Amino acid sequence: MNIDNTESSSQTQTQHDQHGRWPQAESVEDFRHNLAEVHARIATACQRAGRDPASVRLLPVSKTKPETSLRLAYAAGCRLLGENKPQEAYRKWEAMQDLGDLQWSVIGHLQTNKAKLVARFASEFQALDSLRVAEALERRLQAEGRALDVFVQVNTSGEASKYGLNPDDVPAFLRALPAFSALRVRGLMTLALFSAEAERVRKCFVLLRELRDQLRHDAPHGIDLDELSMGMSGDYEIAIEEGATIVRVGQAIFGARLTPDSYYWPTAPDGEPDQ
């Protein structure tokens, strides 16, 4: 063990022990403070990895939070918000039309019958994991005269409950995507294993990065694999060390959620990280 080098990235721990305990952001100042804290941690993680902090985009995730809270985040500078459920996101988008430059990223599983909603308002969709959804989105986007940035979701944890493609199925999936001209493929997305064991979490991020590096060379024309969307409140620093270009952070900015995670992630732990 390298006990002298405490800055070594191999020692970065998860913050999953904070899950369900993050303090609520109740004012613009709270949001500014939390955003500054997350940006500082991003910068430090980048430093450990020898990366430029400008190469990491912070996506604040506002799911379950009320409109008042989202407006405070906007006042603190957020211009793109991540939401897991299309209906919830659509409702918020409708209610906040007055904020003309606020954009929406849908980061949760999509059923084909909700493609119409996403095609109407989202600027980004991070959970593409089937050709049926790609087809439904393409049809609706063509009808709206819009295009959408998309990320292919990969299941890197091997958990049967998690959404996303099996890594082995990603190459063929990518080869089918150029047929959908309204979908602009930007990269890969994953949710790591939810565990307090940093090394098991890190493995998921490494897998996504290696898959991306492997596929990048002969990606079909028009398929861009620059982005790696990985890492959330409890593990974004580890994700950055492994190459994340987008981190999706909810609770560390907005505060803990009251709605159990199982509502968004089937069989997700409700507050207690596993050991």
Report in angstroms how near the CB of residue 264 gets to ligand PLP at its nearest: 5
Q: Which two tokens stand for residue 27?
A: 């004012």
- The token pair that represents 25 in the structure block: 């952001």
Torsion of CA 66, 153, 178, 125, to 10 degrees: 0
Number of residues that bind ligand PLP (CB under 6 A): 15
Positive/negative CA dihedral, 192, 193, 197, 200: negative
Q: Which of 15, 69, 157, 233 binds ligand PLP (CB under 6 A)?
A: 233
Return d(Cα 110, Cα 101) in angstroms, integer. 24
| Residues 136, 14: Cα–Cα separation, whole Å | 37
Choices 6-14, 143-151, 165-173, 243-251; region in contact with ligand PLP by CB under 6 A: 243-251
Which of 209, 214, 150 lies closest to 185, judged by CA?
A: 150
Cβ partners under 8 Å of residue 213, min gap 6: none
Residue (78 or 252) nearer to ligand PLP, CB: 252
* Range in contact with ligand PLP (rule: CB under 6 A) among 27-35, 165-173, 210-218, 232-240: 232-240
Judged by beta carbon, residue 6 or residue 56, the one nearer ligand PLP is: 56
190 counts as binding ligand PLP under rule CB under 6 A: no
Whose CA is closest to 121, among 142, 138, 144? Answer: 144
- According to DSSP, the β-strands at 124-128 and 148-153 are parallel
Q: Which is nearer to ligand PLP, 234 or 243 (CB)?
A: 234
State the minimum distance, in angstroms, from the CB of residue 33 to ligand PLP: 16
Whether the Cβ atoms of residue 9 and residue 48 lie closer than 8 Å to each other = yes
Q: How far is the CB of 153 from ligand PLP (least distance, A)?
A: 8
Q: Which residues within the stretch 72-111 sit at the binding site for ligand PLP (CB under 6 A)?
A: 84, 107-108
Considering only residues 156 to 175 of the shown chain, the ones binding ligand PLP according to CB under 6 A are: none
CB of 115 to ligand PLP, least distance (A): 18
Q: Which is nearer to ligand PLP, 74 or 125 (CB)?
A: 125
Give the interface with ligand PLP as residue ranges (CB under 6 A): 61, 63, 84, 107-108, 191, 232-234, 248-252, 264
